[in-house]
């Protein structure tokens, strides 16, 4: 999925019943945008059998295009190659060392193993911001400051892959705050949706 396909998916969700989920995704993306306060401070981790390479690549591209280096993630791996570049050579120990100006983003369809969760708990105790994007992650969500669920059985929610694209794109864009989103919902509930004049 490229940027134009992600934009089309967003437009479809805005027109249909997926708008409520999309509002939650925008709030999550705003929290993600604000979480790391320095370059190299966004750590991305997933389940052992499904490391979030795709999200790391997409978010890295979006951050580069937007000039937001602090959103370019460091992919955490269980066994990084020693000759890999810095953003691909971090092990689980890097999560334990995360501190106040950093964030850990867990991207997983299911809860990661206990070793990852223990390291995330260490990071949380050291002041790192914890975020989760997942489908069935009750343990990881219990550690998180911010969570976005992508229910597999909710027809108005995108696929897990689509959700990663939408969050990556929204994280680099300045969107209305949560208060403005709620105000827009209230106005539309009172008056009906806004109709563009031709």
Residue 198: per-residue pLDDT: 46
Range with lowest mean pLDDT among 19-28, 67-76, 103-112: 19-28
Whole-number average pLDDT of the chain: 84
Residue 11 banded pLDDT, cuts 50, 70, 90:
low
Contact in structure between 69 and 133 (CB atoms under 8 Å): no
In the structure, what pLDDT confidence band is assigned to residue 8 with cuts at 50, 70 and 90? Answer: low
Gap between the Cα atoms of 32 and 131, Å rounded: 7
With 90 as the cut, is the pLDDT of residue 186 above it? no
Give the whole-angstrom CA distance, residue 94 versus residue 80: 12
How confident is the model over 141-176, as pLDDT tens digits? 999 999 999 988 777 678 888 889 889 988 988 655
pLDDT value of residue 123: 97
Check residue 177 and report its DSSP letter. -
Whether residue 99 has pLDDT greater than 80: yes
Q: Distance (Å, rounded) from C-alpha 48 to C-alpha 189?
A: 44
Domains along the sequence of the chain with CATH: 3-191 (3.40.50)
Question: What confidence tens digit (pLDDT) does each residue in 57-93 have?
Answer: 999 999 999 999 999 999 999 888 888 887 788 899 9
> Percent of the chain having pLDDT more than 90?
49
Output the pTM of the full model: 0.81
Q: Report the percentage of the chain scoring pLDDT > 70.
A: 78
pLDDT per residue as tens digits for the range 126-145: 999 999 999 889 999 999 99
Mean pLDDT of the region 104-118: 95
At CA 118, angle to CA 117 and CA 119, rounded to 5? 90
Buried b (16+ CB within 10 A) or exposed e, 78-107: eebeeeeeeeebbebebbbebeeebbbbbb
User: Contact 31/62 with Cβ under 8 angstroms?
Assistant: no
More confidently predicted of 20 and 170 = 170
Contacts of residue 119, defined as CB under 8 A and 6 or more positions apart, other chains included, come to: 92, 93, 95, 96
Average pLDDT over residues 29-48: 93
């Amino acid at each position: 999925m490229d940027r134009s396909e992600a934009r089309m998916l967003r437009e479809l969700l805005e027109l249909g019943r997926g708008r409520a989920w999309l509002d939650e995704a925008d709030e999550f993306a705003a929290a993600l945008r604000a979480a790391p306060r320095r370059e190299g401070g966004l750590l991305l981790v997933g389940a052992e059998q499904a490391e979030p390479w795709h999200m790391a690549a997409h978010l890295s591209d979006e951050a580069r295009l937007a000039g937001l280096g602090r959103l370019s993630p460091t992919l955490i791996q269980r066994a990084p190659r020693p000759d890999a570049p810095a953003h691909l050579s971090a092990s689980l120990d890097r999560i334990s060392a995360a501190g106040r100006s950093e964030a850990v983003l867990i991207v997983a369809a299911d809860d990661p193993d206990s070793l990852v969760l223990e390291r995330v708990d260490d990071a949380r105790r050291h002041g790192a911001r914890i975020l989760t994007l997942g489908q069935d992650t009750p343990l990881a969500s219990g550690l998180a400051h911010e969570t976005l669920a992508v229910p597999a059985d909710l027809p108005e929610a995108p696929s897990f892959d689509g959700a990663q694209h939408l969050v990556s794109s929204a994280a680099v864009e300045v969107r209305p705050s949560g208060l403005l989103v709620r105000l827009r919902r209230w106005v539309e509930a009172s008056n009906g949706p806004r109709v563009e004049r031709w």
